[in-house]
Chains A and B, each alone.
Chain A
Amino acid sequence: MDWNLVLISAAGLGGLGLIIGIVLAIASVKLAVKVDEREAAVRAVLPGANCGACGFPGCDGYAAAVASGSAPLNKCSVGGASVARSIGEIMGQEAGAVEPMVAVLICRGGKDVAPARFQYKGAADCRHAALLLGGPKACVYGCVGLGHCAKVCPFGAITMGRNNLPVIDEKKCTGCGNCVRGCPKGTLLLVPRSKLVVLACVSHDKGKAVKDVCRVGCTACTLCTKVCPAGALTMVNNLPVMDFEKCIDCGICVHKCPTRSFIDRARGRPKAVINPRCTGCQACVRACPFKAIEGEPDKQHKVLADKCIGCGECRKVCPAEAIDMVGALGHAHPGKAA
């Protein structure tokens, strides 16, 4: 046991440790900077190996990204499932408070209704295809259909459908917005989950120019803005823009649109039914936009089930409250007007 070697090495390394310890201790006090406590909570859960395997610069980088909500919760491969679960708990509570959004495809131009104008053989990704003269589709505004959104979706909620249009599984979609940010054509939109009616077209052309390239494109005929009872639709640059606050999800525009450019996310709509309290005043006959009610004046009236779309306009005007909305399959508030 040669003592002086032991002493020198103990003094050397110990001394160095002392210096570094003191310097860091002082520095941590003098240079302290406040850190978002949720980020600190997530950071405490992370293993701290700083190996960068999650694609973020170290655990602090990843914790900051998770705390700011711009990173999926399961990226820490070193920590594995247990760390992902605890991050979920920390972040879980906060995420609930915000109005849950869902991504919706606002283009119905599949390859069956919107033909291509040239064959694209390059890298199978929308962003690459979009660089080439706006993409192979005749309609340059529409969805290119090469599945970039499906690739970037961290939750696997998007799969490419038969006619080159993405199909979004609303149960898996968490509204993170990766697909919306990634899409070169902007044909994906984050919509509040409670909203049912969405315009499914992004073409700024008018009339024949749209008809030539897509059978279901919005030709800017402005009919929907006239029939909308709540005045929620205003024409901007050849496209009806919907004000989600005003929209009452009645669905009239969906059925009135000549090119069926609106989509109705409700899984089912109710039907109006007139009960015996009807006095035959025919107020509802005049109010119904779809002529779905018939009957002689002052007599019991009847609703033609196949024509009625469950918009609830008749129910609003009936003085005798003789109309009920029945049979909403799996939808929270049928015809808000009711």
Chain B
Amino acid sequence: MNPAKILMGAFLVNNIILMRFIGLCPFFGVSTSLETSFGMSAAVLFVMMLAAWVSWLLYHLLLVPTGLVFLRTAVFILVIAGLVQFVEMVLKKYMRGLYSALGIYLPLITTNCAILGVTFLNIDYRFNLLQSTLFAVGTALGFALAIILFAAIRERLEDSPISPSFKGYPIAFVGASLVSLAFLGFTSLFGISL
């Protein structure tokens, strides 16, 4: 698989939120405003790359040689949780500015299915380290595209006349359905089939 296809595949064709349904909790929770969506996307990009590297190295250097493949779920999530907590502390201590913009989203990342989802997909697709990184970046950009696009729609939805029982989540879901429909159009773009 050439690198561009991996990146585009994860970014558009198989968008992690709209096509694979991974990462929906924060997607609906945080996308109420554009500003929080940007912060969340930056945090996801940052942690997803870190998680992809760490999980790839752990899997191929520790788990496979020792035959402990069955521990991958426990190891990955433990490492991601530890990683996030550590990164949060470092940011809070040394990079105050970055922390105020990015840091508050970090705890949200540990329970984000997208991060763990990427680590598992990297294993399933048998990517090497470079491909894993590209896939992580592509997915994070896809996450960002979906959540920012959706935040703009949701802000507009706030003001449009909707019947009370459909305000909030229901209309958001229907909105997401339409955005997902649009993304469906990207299927097998450039022959990508991730």
Q: Which of A8, A17, A28, A33 contacts B68 (CB 8 A)?
A: A8
Residues from chain B with Cβ under 8 Å of A17 in the complex? 78
A247–B8 Cα distance when bound, in Å, is 67
- Count A-B contacts at CB 8 Å: 102
Assess whether A64 is in contact with B104, with CB atoms less than 8 Å apart.
yes
Assess whether B160 is in contact with A27, with CB atoms less than 8 Å apart.
no
CB A335 to nearest CB in B, in angstroms, measures 44
- Which B31-79 residues have a C-beta within 8 angstroms of A? 32-33, 36, 39-40, 62-63, 66-68, 70-71, 74-75, 78-79
Assess whether A123 is in contact with B67, with CB atoms less than 8 Å apart.
no
Contact size range, B: 35 or more
- Which A255-312 residues have a C-beta within 8 angstroms of B? none
Residues from chain B with Cβ under 8 Å of A95 in the complex? none
- Which B70-128 residues have a C-beta within 8 angstroms of A? 70-71, 74-75, 78-79, 82, 85-86, 89-90, 92-93, 104-108, 110-111
Assess whether B25 is in contact with A127, with CB atoms less than 8 Å apart.
no
Tell me what chain B mostly uses at the interface: helix, strand, loop, or mixed.
helix
Assess whether A55 is in contact with B159, with CB atoms less than 8 Å apart.
no
**Is A108 in the interface zone, CB < 8 Å from B?**
no
Q: Knowing that A12-B66, A55-B36 touch, tell me 6 more A-B residue pairs with CB under 8 angstroms.
A: A9-B68, A13-B74, A50-B108, A60-B107, A125-B158, A128-B159
B-contacting residues of A (Cβ < 8 Å)?
A: 5, 8-9, 12-13, 16-17, 20, 23-24, 27-28, 31, 33, 49-61, 64, 123-125, 127-128, 148, 151
A-contacting residues of B (Cβ < 8 Å)?
A: 25-26, 28-30, 32-33, 36, 39-40, 62-63, 66-68, 70-71, 74-75, 78-79, 82, 85-86, 89-90, 92-93, 104-108, 110-111, 156, 158-161
- Residue pairs across A and B with Cβ atoms less than 8 A apart, 9 shown, are A9-B68, A9-B71, A12-B75, A13-B74, A31-B92, A51-B25, A57-B104, A57-B108, A124-B161
